[in-house]
Amino acid sequence: MGMKRKSDSSDFEYDAVFIGGGGAGHIGALFMKSQGGKALIVDQDDHLGGKCPKNACYTHHLFYDCAVELDFSRQFAGKLWWPEFDSKVAILPIIDLFKAKREKTYGGIELGARVRGVDYILRQKAEIITPHLVRVGERKIRTKAVVVATGARPRIPSIPGTDLKGVFTHATLVEELDYEPERILVVGASKVGTPYASFFNACGCETTLMDQVPFYPFLDHEVRQYVIRGMVERGMSLFQETEVVEVLGEDRVQSVHLRKGDKDWAVDVDAVFMATGMVPNSEIVRHLGVALGPNSEIKVNGRMETNVPGIYAAGDVIGPPMEQWKARKSGITAARNILGQKSELKLGFCPDQLHSTYEICCVGLTEKQAKEQCEHASVLKLGIADARKPGVTPMAERMMIMGHLYPEKTGFQKMIYDADSGKVLGLHHVGYGAKDSFTYLAYLMEKGLTVDQLAGMTELFMDSARFIQMARLATWEKTKT
């Protein structure tokens, strides 16, 4: 083995060339280096870290944070020390702030890679000549394996007019917006479309959010209602099961022609934000006979191997879930297998999230799913749905001012469990401050979490999600004699 390893090293300059330096390629390469392997990252963009710090996670979260603070400013206007607030807020300065900080973020990520001794090449395209030979500019690089981690890009449906000025995606908005939109249509109530629409609305833009299908089919029906009502109450126009027929305008978008069933109408807008899904950037492997799925995602097994020996893929290019955790884990899994550490990526029990002006988190089953799958699925909930009980609002950290002024706007929590076994089946939260918990709750649920276990835990009052106290009520029900 020692000999073989040595021979590998002399044949190949690298154990792996990671094409794409986002969550998958960057973390995969750092991991490989930490294990004594040789890793090279090649990215055609000007930075490491991929789209997360460029126009995805960081941008979304900054805009979300602005949306919450602006929502507070509007909700609390004229109360306590809060001044009147009905002004339109400029978006361009927020983008400028984002971009100024982005350069520093890039610098920090690069420094991290340098400190850890990972090689990287930026601003150059890689071409895979064979699974063991990659061309970068004039240079040909011999490598034991290639990890394709080229990510995904926004999908623009083929609708007339989407090439007009004033039509944006999350990838172009921060680069190209050069005016202050007054009226905006967000196409796609996705995990991207929803927080952006909430942000535009909180900034004072007249905002319409629409989707071809009903909003949020993955959410529990009461959570979904709460989230949708929250957006309506904040002045957004929502259209479900509605299609864009055409985007109209001359120099710039001026209106959008919409259709729902046999009803046609136009919405006047000065900007359109497309949040209509992502397309994997898999073109780079087309000439190699690498198998692709129906959405042109690269097909991989649990070890991140494609059907072509020596070619691995990781991150968004292998399809959904297009989440940071999957990017990181799949990049590490590819690296492990290339180094001979057998490893399979198991998706397991995943928590999920969505942002409006609220943080919406869930794990496990919805009430409907639970009642279909389990004879004695029981439900406990807090918040608006429990309005019979005045004062019993899910007040918690960062919700106290809201809770004192508008208790009905403090969120909603729901626990679903099997009354027979005590197993926790689903946990749902609308509010703030519980998101991190869902990481641990998902892990615990995968291990068979019961309401008895939850009931015995030590909660830090006031807990954002109140699941511990709900679990106590559940165990009382269960043990009633």
User: Under rule CB under 8 A, which residues in 384-423 are in contact with a copy of itself?
Assistant: 389-392, 395-401, 403-405, 407
Phi-psi region of 422 (alpha: psi -120 to 50; beta: other; left: phi over 0): left
CB atoms within 10 A of CB 381: 20
Instruction: Please tell me what DSSP assigns to residue 447.
Output: T
Of the pair 53, 166, the CB lying nearest a copy of itself is at 53
Angle between helices 92-115 and 57-75 (to 10 degrees): 140
Pure H helices in 35-182:
51-54, 57-75, 92-115, 170-176
d(CA 52, CA 39): 21
432 makes contact with a copy of itself (CB under 8 A): yes
Residues 187-216 that bind a copy of itself (CB under 8 A): none
d(CA 301, CA 344): 8
The distance of closest approach from Cβ of residue 466 to a copy of itself in the complex, given in angstroms and rounded to an integer, is: 9
Residues 84-103 that bind a copy of itself (CB under 8 A): 87, 89-90, 93-94, 97-98, 100-101
Residues 101-160 that bind a copy of itself (CB under 8 A): 101, 104-109, 111-112, 115
Give the residue from 339, 329, 282, 323 showing the smallest Cα distance to 28. Answer: 329
476 makes contact with a copy of itself (CB under 8 A): yes
d(CA 208, CA 434): 28
**Which one of 78, 83, 261, 294 is in contact with a copy of itself (CB under 8 A)?**
83
Q: Which of these segments, 14-22, 177-185, 308-316, 465-473, binds a copy of itself (CB under 8 A)?
A: 465-473
The distance of closest approach from Cβ of residue 337 to a copy of itself in the complex, given in angstroms and rounded to an integer, is: 15
Residues 435-454 that bind a copy of itself (CB under 8 A): 435-444, 453
**Which one of 250, 261, 375, 479 is in contact with a copy of itself (CB under 8 A)?**
479
235 makes contact with a copy of itself (CB under 8 A): no
8 makes contact with a copy of itself (CB under 8 A): no
**Which one of 7, 35, 301, 373 is in contact with a copy of itself (CB under 8 A)?**
35
Q: Look at residue 402 and give its three-state secondary structure.
A: helix
**Which one of 54, 191, 328, 423 is in contact with a copy of itself (CB under 8 A)?**
328
Give one DSSP letter per residue of 260-299, joined into a string.
ETTEEEEEE-SEEEE---EEE--GGGGGGT--B-TTSPBP
Q: Which of these segments, 151-159, 169-177, 257-265, 432-440, binds a copy of itself (CB under 8 A)?
A: 432-440
d(CA 384, CA 358): 14
